[in-house]
Structure 1
Amino acid sequence: MKTVPTPVKPSYWSERRKEATAGLLYISPFFILFAIFGLFPMLYSFYLAFQNWNGLGEMKFVGFANFQLIMSDPLFWRSIYNTVILGLLGTLPQILVAIPLAALLNAAWLRFRNLFRIAIFMPYVTSTVAVALVFSVIFSEHPSGLANSFFSLFGFEQIFWKKEEWAVKVAISVMVFWRWVGYNTIIFLAGLQRIPHDLYEAATIDGASAVQQFRFITLPLLRPVIVFVTFLSTIGAWQLFVEPLVFYGNVNLVREEGMTIVLYLWKEAFANSAFGTASASAIILFLIIALFSALNLKLSGRTGNAA
């Protein structure tokens, strides 16, 4: 009589399951740290937006009172206005300058390309302390300051860079431009290097000039990267914090001409000890960024379909 072998029950810890478990263990530190330092603060901020709390005492539920309070604060609306203006003055020139800079750094005839690429990226990794020192000299309110000395050559009077409405915005926008134009240039450079060189060779054979090649080949194929950079720059503009703070040196010294929405919620939380209104401001900022993100996804979808 032939004996039928008993089927062997597969082990729970199969090789595939072991590999999956090992992979999860390797990536688990990121999710643990994100949950502690990212997800929990965000959820807790939503909770604080409906509480009256000074950071030490007992919390008191106030409903939407924090939102009503900041909505009635003229400085809050001024901070949104400043953020939009600084975003336009700092973001748009970045994109307009970064694209031709990337094209120049991608040119085959340019010598020492790697050196120039490193040099243009240096402001992004420069210490904020060094940035503060450099721009405090450039935009010194003293008549002998570098910017004032330059404008005096053209007959301009002394400019108070930290007090006058548009002087503040121009100074901060220059800092934003100087720090981020190199970062955007490197992204555009990566996009340019993905464009097949055969297209340029065929266009040259057909007699297309360099300007025509840039207009009809480079810009259309670079459009998804332009949308991506515009999206990042827009989100970064709404989160503008370091440059105004460095420009004034102290959050308590920031005047309303240079107050951004992130500086406003920072001041509410850590200067005025009003964590409820600060969290409410953060939620409004979150909704604004979410709106712009949705618009960017819609625009990106249309761009992809058009391509």
Structure 2
Amino acid sequence: MTAARQRAPYLFLAPFLLLFVVFGAFPPLFAAALSLFAWDPASGYASARFVGLDNYVFALTDPWFWQSFGNTLWLALAAGVPQHLVALPLAFWLHRRAGRVRHWLLGAYFLPFVTASVAVSLTFATLFATDYGLVNQALQRLTGLPLAPDWLHDPALLKPLVALVVFWRYVGWNTLLYVTALQGVSPALFEAAALDGAGSWRQFRHVALPLLRPTILFAGTLSLIGGLQLFEEPFILTQDGRGGSGGAAATTAIYLYRTAFDFGDFGSAAAMAWLLCVAIALLGWAAHRAFRREEAP
């Protein structure tokens, strides 16, 4: 084999490897290195000063960081759990009862997922606007009272609104995952259950759910990872870039963004990003272990 033929595979792999190194490997490694430095980007790289683990100590003792992490967990659970509670029975109904219109309904449910998150957030911000929003106008007409809840600024209403937007956007994605998994289940299992007198609910509970456990774990893990990285929806809905009044809906991603670009502390922001990465890995591992433990006989 000639030297040119030996080099050919590496030449074909070179574009992917180059893109992976530049856009995949370099950013997290640079963030890991940056988390050990105090750096003012306006002064150039020469101003970087090694501080060791001080940025991590600052993040772990920062009450705003823990508040943002608590908000993130709340939103991840408030938006993620209802997604699957709705998507599972909806997928079962689509698979067993929707017939020929199943694909059209799946396309309609999936449409919010492929719509830009900025467009979705702006639409909901308009619908829930205090003075001219359609939601408040509908409440006034239905009740006859001058109701005008301040959805976008009241801390008690803002977080549920963000959770609603995230739920609406991703429930179709999870439904599609479950419908796809159900298509791999033999119809004979459902027919046998029906012959034994099992209705739709028992077929769903005793046939579909046990067979969907691997898919539920996969979809739940994706929801957990996405929920802990939540940024666009609360950032746009709050309209101030700070997570609303008192940081009521400020997620960890929003807070580390503000730490970097509003406060100019890129080292602490990088440390927060890695702490968030570790939290996602640990929570994902814990959920996987808990799920496997329940699955064991």
Taking structure 2 as the reference length, what is the TM-score of the superposition?
0.89
User: Match for residue 39 of structure 1?
Assistant: 25
Note closer, same or farther for the CA distance 1:114–1:38 as it changes in structure 2 (3 Å cut). same
User: Match for residue 135 of structure 2?
Assistant: 147
Q: What residue identity is the alignment partner of 2:38? A: N
8 Å Cα contact 1:128-1:246 kept in structure 2: no
Query: Using the alignment, how far apart are the partners of 2:177 and 2:243 within structure 1?
Result: 35
Note closer, same or farther for the CA distance 1:82–1:118 as it changes in structure 2 (3 Å cut). same
Query: Using the alignment, how far apart are the partners of 2:260 and 2:244 within structure 1?
Result: 15
Taking the TM superposition and a 5 Å limit, the aligned residue runs for 1:159-198 are: 159-198=149-188
Query: Using the alignment, how far apart are the partners of 1:304 and 1:95 within structure 2?
Result: 18
Q: What residue identity is the alignment partner of 1:184? A: N
How far residue 23 of structure 1 moved from its aligned partner, in angstroms, is 5.4
Is 1:265 aligned to 2:251, yes or no? no
How far residue 281 of structure 1 moved from its aligned partner, in angstroms, is 0.4
Note closer, same or farther for the CA distance 1:201–1:264 as it changes in structure 2 (3 Å cut). same
Note closer, same or farther for the CA distance 1:150–1:299 as it changes in structure 2 (3 Å cut). same
Task: Please list the CA deviations of residues 45-89 of structure 1 after superposition, one character each: whole Å capped at 9, or x if unmatched.
Answer: 111111111213210111222122223322111101111111111
Query: Using the alignment, how far apart are the partners of 1:305 and 1:27 within structure 2?
Result: 42
How far residue 266 of structure 1 moved from its aligned partner, in angstroms, is 0.9
- Residue 124 (structure 1) aligned to one of 113, 117, 142: 113
Q: What residue identity is the alignment partner of 2:74? A: I
Taking the TM superposition and a 5 Å limit, the aligned residue runs for 1:75-154 are: 75-142=64-131, 144-152=132-140, 153-154=142-143
- Residue 197 (structure 2) aligned to one of 207, 222, 229: 207
Secondary structure of 2:129's counterpart equals: coil
Note closer, same or farther for the CA distance 1:66–1:231 as it changes in structure 2 (3 Å cut). same
User: Match for residue 235 of structure 2?
Assistant: 245
8 Å Cα contact 2:69-2:252 kept in structure 1: yes
Task: Please list the CA deviations of residues 233-283 of structure 1 after superposition, one character each: whole Å capped at 9, or x if unmatched.
Answer: 011111001111121345257440110001111111122211011011011
Unaligned runs of 5+ in 1: 1-10
Count of aligned residue pairs for this structure pair: 291
User: Match for residue 229 of structure 1?
Assistant: 219
How far residue 115 of structure 1 moved from its aligned partner, in angstroms, is 1.1
Query: Using the alignment, how far apart are the partners of 2:153 and 2:243 within structure 1?
Result: 11
- Residue 286 (structure 2) aligned to one of 288, 295, 299: 295
Note closer, same or farther for the CA distance 1:289–1:109 as it changes in structure 2 (3 Å cut). closer
Q: What residue identity is the alignment partner of 2:265? A: A
Q: What residue identity is the alignment partner of 1:186? A: L
Query: Using the alignment, how far apart are the partners of 1:250 and 1:91 within structure 2?
Result: 25
Taking structure 1 as the reference length, what is the TM-score of the superposition?
0.86
Note closer, same or farther for the CA distance 1:104–1:24 as it changes in structure 2 (3 Å cut). farther
Q: What residue identity is the alignment partner of 1:73? A: D
- Residue 217 (structure 1) aligned to one of 207, 215, 219: 207
Query: Using the alignment, how far apart are the partners of 2:25 and 2:164 within structure 1?
Result: 34
Query: Using the alignment, how far apart are the partners of 1:244 and 1:109 within structure 2?
Result: 35
**Which of 173-182 and 73-82 deviates more?**
73-82
8 Å Cα contact 2:39-2:266 kept in structure 1: yes
Question: If you compute each CA radius of gyration, which structure gives the higher value, 1 or 2?
Answer: 1
8 Å Cα contact 2:243-2:249 kept in structure 1: no
Query: Using the alignment, how far apart are the partners of 2:16 and 2:173 within structure 1?
Result: 25
8 Å Cα contact 1:224-1:300 kept in structure 2: no
Q: What residue identity is the alignment partner of 1:259? A: A
**Which of 45-54 and 144-153 deviates more?**
144-153
8 Å Cα contact 1:188-1:225 kept in structure 2: yes
Secondary structure of 2:179's counterpart equals: helix
Q: What residue identity is the alignment partner of 2:224? A: T
Task: Please list the CA deviations of residues 212-235 of structure 1 after superposition, one character each: whole Å capped at 9, or x if unmatched.
Answer: 111110011111111111111011
8 Å Cα contact 2:159-2:248 kept in structure 1: yes
Query: Using the alignment, how far apart are the partners of 2:82 and 2:146 within structure 1?
Result: 24
Unaligned runs of 5+ in 2: none
**Higher helix proportion:** 2
